Amino acid sequence: MGYKILSKKELCPNQFELVIEAPYVVRNAKAGQFIIFRAEENGERVPLTIADVDKSTGALTIVFMAVGYSTQKLAELNVGDELVDLVGPLGQPTHIKKYGTVVCLAGGYGAAPCYLIAKAFKEAGNKVYMIMGARTKNLIFWEEKMKDACTELFITTDDGTLGEKGFVTQVLERIMNSEKVDYAIAVGPLPMMRAVAELTRDKGIYTEASMNPIMVDGTGMCGACRVTVGGETKFACVDGPDFNAHLIDFDEVINRSKIYKDEEKKRSENCNLLKMATK
Amino acid sequence: MRQRPIEQDIFERRNNFNAVEENLTAEQVKIEASRCLNCKNPQCVKGCPVNIQIPDFIKALKEDNLEQAGEIIRQTSMLPSVCGRVCPQERQCEGKCILGIKSEPIAIGALERYVGDNTEAKKVSIIPSGKKVAIIGSGCAGITAAADLRKAGHEVTIFEALHKFGGVLRYGIPPFRLPRKVLDREIKNLQEMGVKFEKNVIVGKSITLKQLKEDGFDAIFICSGAGLPKMMNIPGENLNGVFSANEFLTRVNLMGANDEDKATPLKVGKSVAVIGGGNVAMDAARTAVRVGFEIVYIVYRRTEAELPARLEEIRHAKEEGVKFVFLHAPNEIIEKNGYVDGMKFEIMELGAPDETGRRSPIGTGRFKVLDVDTVIVALGTGPNPIIQKSASTDGINFATDKRGYFIVDEETRETSIPTIFAGGDVAPVGASNAINAMGAGKKAAKAINKYLANNYNK
């Protein structure tokens, strides 16, 4: 079962869209699920959320930022190359139902999974607002695609170079003040997901956040991805990745995400590839 | 005198993952085989979970007939090179050996392993049956069943969730106990027989049982093991530096995290407490020694007499400098800046024997803190519910026990759903170990072969 790259696009600097032949992943894939890849024989297993699927051809789309060793290795692959390993779909799908009004908050390169999530909520009969945020204009991608997936799209940039100046939370606040929001889901960096959770908590709006902890196998056999939710230990790879954002112990998640920072730093310092990438 | 294999130097082997024990030499094999009394009513055979005809294969060795010894073993056991190395023989075949009463039992494991390593399984011609069997999981149960099913002519596909085959033999048991060439050889043999191996397929996610049926599989054997780690549920368990033994061993054994050329990172601290007393705890502790922890403790809540690990591994661990702390039960992991900064234990004493005859530890109310920066939890595992959960959404509801293990017919290993069989650690009958999983694979394959043959004649 080859995992051949069918197309490759640089969506914005250092951020790539790959379409990969992956019939086993695509056959049962649902919004919110993820895959684990190994780019090369010596590679590590890295999780990435499913960004899009084509059920008729068995093609899978992933979007990622080349931020470290393994994503850099993945970015080096070209059309026609094969990944050594690709497994999925993993995790529980996003809990799609008709809630009424749904807000999807997409931050940075975490934005891509929101496409399928928003689309599925819309198809289930919800009014779907999507708020997409990034640091600056050239980090915003898939604008047209996102527009199609939701009822209304908002864009924010920290520096105001595209859409509204500021964070996704200020748009969410405005929507919450003008109408009843029944469900919110945040996918993006941890501080952003935490800020969304704090905002919706007081209003009692049910909110989920898509966790992205360290994973190894992704099938529930190791517990590297442990997250405390409402005082209970959950494995994000099998119980999640989406959890009730008001019950997540974000301090713990943030702490656990740093465990290998020394090891990764050492690797980056030794890695000529990464030196080139950051130049 | 019982012959002992040459062992790698204690100080040297602390720094490498090479096999600790060499095979017996041909000369030693001869001496050891000649010690066997060839009992009329051999107890050793009863002690072997798959009843290998032990005196027969030893007799063949005595007569310099190595090939024949191999054939005798392979009539019942497909993985002699594996089982000769990882079986807890002191509680099985060797534990029953009559010689053990007055002196030392025959080194059956070492002989089996010698035979396994030095002979090949006989090639058989395969007559296609036109039937397809799916095996879910490539561990001991799966590879054993695959061989017997393939010999019956079926098209056999093994689906494996990970990117490499072998299950616990690959990600759990370290190479210093089971050299990878031994495992690779078994898998290559099956591939040569025409068994198809599909990696990166998670049944229940990538493909459902219902879809396997739709894709034309006539029978399914589920042997996905018990891979879900049990945690301690004590404060501090999610601090940085606390790992399940599964995670620690997977990083090293499967991902090569101890190797600088491999991308998977490993956090190596100064001192580690490995919690538990089974083989997994020994493997984790001895691996911790090899990746560079200076102080390695095994902390167990009972005493040395109750340690469930193989005697050989306990001895090897001690020789390699692992410190054993008995009668200590986990209480709390101490934190500093989000990382482990010590672990608190309650000191235990043994109470009266329970209904199984085992003495349970009882807390004394006294506590002790071990100065460690890493904790590895090796308290056992449970079954992964992915398959059952996914099946139930398709209206297939398996009978399972309260811990989630499949309930199967002891003889045929058929689940509550006809044509779907389960065995090994996911549907345990008896102790959870390699040879019992193999036994389950054999039983399931026999039942599946019978079922498909009947069906075929219709």
pLDDT tens profile B12-21: 999 999 999 9
- Cross-chain residue pair A42–B198, CB shorter than 8 Å: no
Q: Which of A38, A226, A263 is opposite residue B238, by nearest beta carbon?
A: A226
| CB half-sphere exposure, B285, CA atoms < 13 A | 31
- B210 CA: distance to closest CA in chain A (Å): 12
Mean pLDDT, chain B, rounded, equals: 94
Mean pLDDT of B276-302: 97
pLDDT band at A279 (very low <50, low <70, confident <90, very high): very low
pLDDT of residue A277: 45
pLDDT higher than 70, residue A126: yes
Q: Which of A25, A42, A264 is opposite residue B265, by nearest beta carbon?
A: A264
pLDDT tens profile B190-232: 999 999 999 999 999 999 999 999 999 999 999 999 989 999 9
Sort out which chain A residues have CB atoms less than 8 A from B229's CB and list them: 221-223
Distance between CA atoms of B362 and A15, rounded to whole angstroms? 57
pLDDT tens profile A97-111: 999 999 999 998 778
A265 in contact with B, Cβ within 8 Å: no
pLDDT of residue B234: 96
Preceding omega of A23 cis (within 30 degrees of 0)? no
pLDDT of residue A226: 95
| Residues contacting B418, CB < 8 A, separation 6+ | none
pLDDT tens profile B327-353: 999 999 999 999 999 999 999 999 888
Q: Which two structure tokens, joined as six digits, stand for B286?
A: 């001895």
Residue with tokens 């602390």: B14
- Cross-chain residue pair B206–A263, CB shorter than 8 Å: no
Which residues on adjacent β-strands are paired with residue A243?
A: A209
Burial of A131 (0-12, 13-18, 19+ CB in 10 A): buried
Sort out which chain A residues have CB atoms less than 8 A from B250's CB and list them: 216-217, 221-222
Burial of A7 (0-12, 13-18, 19+ CB in 10 A): exposed
pLDDT tens profile B52-102: 999 999 999 999 999 999 999 999 888 899 999 999 899 999 999 999 999
- Cross-chain residue pair A223–B241, CB shorter than 8 Å: no
SS (H, E, C) chain B: CCCCCCECCHHHHCCCCCCCECCCCHHHHHHHHHHCCCCCCCHHHHHCCCCCCHHHHHHHHHCCCHHHHHHHHHHHCCCHHHHHHHCCHHHCHHHHCCHHHHCCCCCHHHHHHHHHHHCCCCCCCCCCCCCEEEEECCCHHHHHHHHHHHHCCCEEEEECCCCCCCCHHHHCCCCCCCCHHHHHHHHHHHHHCCCEEECCCCECCCECHHHHHHCCCCEEEECCCCCEECCCCCCCCCCECEEEHHHHHHHHHHCCCCCCCCCCCCCCCCEEEEECCCHHHHHHHHHHHHHCCCEEEEECCCCHHHCCCCHHHHHHHHHCCCEEECCEEEEEEEEECCEEEEEEEEEEEEEEECCCCCEEEEEEEEEEEECCCEEEECCCEECCCHHHHHHHHCCCCCCECCCCCECCCCCCCECCCCCEEECHHHCCCCCCCHHHHHHHHHHHHHHHHHHHHHHHHC
Among B274, B279, B322, B330, smallest CA distance to B301 is for B330
What would you measure as the largest C-alpha separation in chain B, in angstroms?
70
Cα nearest neighbour of A215 on chain B: B247
pLDDT of residue B272: 98
| CB half-sphere exposure, B451, CA atoms < 13 A | 21
Query: B-contacting residues of A 114-173, CB under 8 Å?
Result: none
- A188 CA: distance to closest CA in chain B (Å): 22
pLDDT of residue B435: 85
Query: What is the bridge-based pairing of β-strands B271-275 and B374-377?
Result: parallel
3-state helix, strand, coil in chain A (%, to 5): 35, 30, 35
pLDDT tens profile B358-377: 788 999 999 999 999 999 99
A93 in contact with B, Cβ within 8 Å: no
pLDDT band at A269 (very low <50, low <70, confident <90, very high): low
pLDDT higher than 80, residue A36: yes
Residue with tokens 């939370």: A169
Sort out which chain A residues have CB atoms less than 8 A from B266's CB and list them: 263
Q: Which two structure tokens, joined as six digits, stand for B13?
A: 């082997």
Sort out which chain B residues have CB atoms less than 8 A from A88's CB and list them: 202, 205-206
Sort out which chain A residues have CB atoms less than 8 A from B386's CB and list them: 219-220, 238
A-B interface: how many C-beta pairs under 8 angstroms? 117
List residues in chain B touching A: CB distance below 8 A.
161-163, 198-202, 205-208, 211, 227-229, 231, 233, 237-241, 243-244, 246-247, 250-251, 255-256, 261-267, 338, 381, 384, 386
Residue B329 near residue B363 (C-beta atoms within 8 A): yes
One-letter amino acid at B176 equals: F
Cα nearest neighbour of B205 on chain A: A89
Angle, CA A274 vertex, CA A269 and CA A278 arms, to 5°: 105
- Cross-chain residue pair B211–A27, CB shorter than 8 Å: yes
Which has the higher per-residue pLDDT, B355 or B149? B149
Q: Which two structure tokens, joined as six digits, stand for B279?
A: 């083989």
Burial of B230 (0-12, 13-18, 19+ CB in 10 A): middle
- B205 CA: distance to closest CA in chain A (Å): 6
pLDDT band at A271 (very low <50, low <70, confident <90, very high): low
A233 in contact with B, Cβ within 8 Å: yes
Distance between CA atoms of A135 and A132, rounded to whole angstroms? 11
Q: Which of A1, A69, A238 is opposite residue B263, by nearest beta carbon?
A: A69
Residue A266 near residue B263 (C-beta atoms within 8 A): no
| DSSP character at residue A44 | P
Which has the higher per-residue pLDDT, A277 or A210? A210
Mutation target for A interface from B136, B163, B197, B291: give the one with most A CBs within 10 A.
B163
pLDDT tens profile B21-50: 999 999 999 999 999 999 999 999 999 988
Among A67, A115, A91, smallest CA distance to A267 is for A67
Phi/psi for B186 (5° steps) reads -60, -40
DSSP sequence for A190-245: HHHHHHHHHHHHHHT--EEEE-----SSSSSSS-TTEEEETTEEEEHHHH-SEEET
Distance between CA atoms of B138 and B140, rounded to whole angstroms? 7
pLDDT of residue A221: 94
Query: Has the ipTM of the complex gone over 0.95?
Result: no
pLDDT of residue A231: 94
- Cross-chain residue pair B207–A24, CB shorter than 8 Å: yes
Q: Which of A86, A87, A224 is opposite residue B247, by nearest beta carbon?
A: A224
Query: What is the bridge-based pairing of β-strands A183-187 and A101-107?
Result: parallel
Among B431, B405, B430, smallest CA distance to B86 is for B431
| Residues contacting B384, CB < 8 A, separation 6+ | A219, A220, A221, A238, B224, B225, B226, B227, B228, B426
- Cross-chain residue pair A267–B265, CB shorter than 8 Å: yes
Report the share of chain A in percent with pLDDT over 90.
88
Mean pLDDT, chain A, rounded, equals: 92
- B428 CA: distance to closest CA in chain A (Å): 18
Which residues on adjacent β-strands are paired with residue B367?
A: B346
pLDDT higher than 90, residue A270: no
Which secondary structure element, helix H or strand E, spans residue A267, and what is its range? helix A261-270
Distance between CA atoms of A33 and A276, rounded to whole angstroms? 33
Distance between CA atoms of A109 and A63, rounded to whole angstroms? 7
- Cross-chain residue pair B243–A84, CB shorter than 8 Å: no
pLDDT higher than 80, residue B313: yes
Q: Which two structure tokens, joined as six digits, stand for B87?
A: 């079986």
- Cross-chain residue pair B161–A219, CB shorter than 8 Å: yes
| DSSP character at residue A2 | -
pLDDT of residue A1: 58
pLDDT band at A272 (very low <50, low <70, confident <90, very high): low
pLDDT band at A132 (very low <50, low <70, confident <90, very high): very high
pLDDT of residue A278: 42
Ranges of beta strands (E only) in A78-135 are 82-83, 85-90, 101-107, 127-134
pLDDT of residue B289: 98
pLDDT of residue A199: 96
The pTM is what? 0.94
